[in-house]
Structure 1
Amino acid sequence: MIDAWTGADLIERFPVVLVTERLAEALAASGLGTFELRDAEITTEPEAEEIRDSAGIQAFPNFRWLHVTGTAGQDDLGTDAEASLVVSDRALALLRQFNLDGCDIEDYAS
């Protein structure tokens, strides 16, 4: 369920990470491993519609579920004990080519 969205290509809704179709395509073509792109059924709260409208965005994009199968600190994409997404420098370089509005980016301390 999306309760707020202002155009980010990656959003976390515990326990899943959602990515826009355009980011999903870039990830699939990147050669990065340890993830699967799955279909996602998205529902939105009225507040999300209002926020989207106020941001001047006409419609929600198609989102895919980024099912991460890797280990944090070892693979290009992994999750830690709190189910937070942990990415390699190479994966972060790709992600930074997209809108990461609202994503907290921190150094990973294993």
Structure 2
Amino acid sequence: MLSRRSLLAGLLAAAVAAPLATIAPGEAEAQSWGGPGPGPNRRPPPPRHERRPPPRRGYVWVPGHWEWRRGRYVWMSGRWVRARPGWHHRNSQWVWRNGRWVYVPGGWHR
């Protein structure tokens, strides 16, 4: 039988490791709206106007975007991310593909 301490340690380790797990690009699109089944069947709202904070040396501004969560669009605010020399950050976007809206996550590209 597991002790309370070992159970808590296991849960903490899983919580820390979960965001570090990698998903293949095709899987990311399939899971982009929060799980299996149909995704959004309506166009995402227009992007919100955000006031960009002052520039930060060594960082790149990633604008906010809409995500599909629990059957509705939710706004995710823009943020500064640490620059990666030799890489270009591509913003996330929604595209119409095969009769449905698909979220294509942004990320770093060479």
TM-score bracket for this pair, using the shorter chain length: under 0.3
Which structure would you say has the larger Rg? Answer: 2
Q: Which has the higher strand share?
A: 2
